Amino acid sequence: MSARGPRLSIVIPVYNERATIEEVLKRVQAVPLDKEVVVVDDGSTDGTGELLRGLHDPGVRVIVQTPNRGKGAALRRGFAEARGAIVIVQDADLEYDPADYAQLLEPIERGVADVVYGSRFLGGPHRVLLFWHSVGNHLLSMLSNMLTNLNLTDVWTCYKVFRAEVLQSLTLREDRFGFEAEVTAKIARGHWRIYEVPISYHGRTYAEGKKITWKDGVRGVWCTLRYGLGG
């Protein structure tokens, strides 16, 4: 790590992911990049916090946020703590593979992008399940595109990569999954250069711990309209 900070900050919001967080961190640490890992435990109640506090890895910073406030709030805290020139969001549930970091970073490092979204719908390998979730994702992305005049295929992807300057320019408010719609609308208004790249996706079922529900979809519509119309 240089005196000016690492090349990459990986921000991982965590809520009740004791079964997967160690493997996620193992995979993240296996990626050969100059990086720091910022984990924000968002009020976990399943022992995740205790597990994280027991880690002894100088490359991982653990921040505890209580009570549980949601993914957006955890990400805001992680972004504020990040020291890298580039920041990537990583979920803690093994649905997204850190082996994709190189292709996510490439447009920024080539100097053609300020923000990169990793799309689950551009042809990368993915587990086949949850048809209605796919439909919901497509509809929400279409609504977002109508309001932002972008042509993204996957607004609600976890894998979003930002030059640090982009995040510093944004004032974010959403505490939960509405973060995805809010940050997309505000990036579009800022006229930042956005790229999409295909990623692999290993989705979970609800029995395996998936947390997003139809209520988040309703909130997603509201947030897409609110921020897409200038909120």
**pLDDT score recorded for residue 157:** 95
Residue-wise pLDDT tens digits, 205-224: 656 556 667 677 788 888 99
d(CA 136, CA 61): 34
Residue-wise pLDDT tens digits, 158-198: 999 999 999 999 999 999 889 999 999 999 999 999 999 99
Nearest CA to 145 out of 217, 137, 215, 99 is that of: 137
d(CA 38, CA 65): 13
d(CA 209, CA 77): 24
- CB of 145 closer than 8 Å to CB of 93: no
pTM of the model: 0.90
